[in-house]
Amino acid sequence: MRLRRLLAAAVVLAALAVSLYYSNKQKSAEAAKPSTDTSLKILALTEGDIAKISVKKKGGAETDLARNSAGKWQMISPEYAADQESVNQLATASATVNGDRLIEDKAADLKSYGLDDPSLRVDITLKSGKVSKLRFGDDVPANGGSYVALEGDPRVWSAASYVKTGFDKTFNDLRDKRLLTFDQDKLSRVELIAKKQDVEFGRDKDQWQIVKPKPLRADGSQIDELIRKVKDAKLDPAVSDEDAKKAVSAFASATAVATVKFTDASGSQQLEVRKNKDDYYAKSSVVPGVYKVTADLGAGVDKGLDDFRNKKLFDFGFNDPGKLEMHDAGKSYLFQKTGEDWFSNGKHMDGTSVQSFIDKLRDLAASKFIDTGALGTPATDVTVTWSDGKRVEKVLISKQGNDYIAKRENEPALYGLDAKAVDELSKAASDVKPAPPPPAAKK
């Protein structure tokens, strides 16, 4: 009898345990679901409808921003160019503002939250003219967040610290700090006056060429690097008035390093860089004032014509040639590609040795540029056909004493070559060998 009661009690206890387990599991699942409490949503706006944003820190100046007809942000007060990325982040923060706790549904005393005299005021105006006035008060004790309220709404919330941080901006945080604002993708001309030279680059589609002092092949990567260094140059808005005056004085007595002029679809902008002792200073045609800039920028613009010339003799780069022809010291070589295989006079050639020859052609580069003289009688000529036969490049090489001079066919420029580079090219051509015979078929 006693055993029967014990068994019955055990069954009841097990049933209760199972019931409690599933009950707790259901509660955990409910707790894991996102909160649908709309009382924590302080602001819910459509970002594209925001027309104006005004930010004012307690004791500080007010920063007023507005979208123009093209949808770009402008800084109305104080009057500076706006940093589009920074202001767009502010607009994103303005569109959705959530609290983490509703403190009071109907607050009678805003002073106890520091909301009677807010530390930060943010006014958000929509295209419709409706204005939402967001106010941040004291920090929440032992929380790290802030008390937040909307003017005209009796509720007070607490919000995480990152919410306030997203709005806590000065005009210096939101202004465009670039010294030049040209559109890199729409540049058509770049002019560099440095080292007593006036060098001009012109762009045709995505290709840069030197157009001044005379038409020459350009190293596009070097021009892109020049553009990048100037485009990345920024002013320091935190410079004091006293330091700003010192910069103007230093610039006035400094030695000219370079002037760079950029032309895009909207017009031209220029940056003048000077050096005073070990420091570089810049003056922009876009932003008033003189600013101290990095030595990296100073070195980046302190370049001459030869720094931007293309030293490579061939333009095929990493494109695959289809035909190679070389005449060198009385020897002739002709390699033609069919499918993935190379042939010479109908004989299948070893692809690895042909590739070594191609690599030497690809790497053939001037060690110096020659401005006077003539090529003389070529001892070597190389022709490379690529782009499905649409592009043909021919280079002529002559020896003058211990030096080698090269010239691209139909172009006036002369290139000085190291003897080692020419010797390695000749050897790579002579080292091309027939492909090994296929393995014998198994019987």
392's CB contacts (< 8 A; 6+ apart) are 383, 384, 385
412-434 pLDDT tens trace? 999 999 999 999 999 999 999 99
Rounded Cα distance between 45 and 91, Å, is 10
CB-based contact 386:400 (threshold 8 Å)? no
Residue 173 dihedral angles phi and psi, to the nearest 5°:
-70, -30
What are the tens digits of pLDDT across the range 87-103?
999 999 999 999 999 99
**Mean pLDDT, residues 210-214 taken together:** 96
pTM of the shown model: 0.79
Would you say residue 322 has pLDDT above 70?
A: yes
Task: Tell me the pLDDT of the chain averaged across its residues.
Answer: 91
| Banded pLDDT at 37 (limits 50, 70, 90) | low
- 38 — pLDDT class (breaks 50, 70, 90): low
CA atoms within 13 A on the CB side of 259: 14
Residue 33 has pLDDT above 60, yes or no: no
Q: What are the domain boundaries of the chain?
A: 38-174, 184-308, 323-430
Q: Which amino acid is at 217?
A: R
Residue 244 structure tokens? 């700003």
Residue 402, pLDDT score? 86
User: Higher-confidence residue: 274 or 330?
Assistant: 274
Model confidence at 30, in pLDDT bands (50, 70, 90)? very low
pLDDT per residue as tens digits for the range 343-384: 999 999 999 999 999 999 999 999 999 989 999 999 999 999
Residue 137's pLDDT band, with cuts at 50, 70 and 90, is very high
What's the pLDDT score for residue 31? 32
Q: Are 237 and 288 in contact (CB under 8 A)?
A: no
Report d(CA 317, CA 357) in Å as an integer: 14
pLDDT at 46: 98
Mean pLDDT of all residues in 27-35? 36
pLDDT for residue 5 = 52
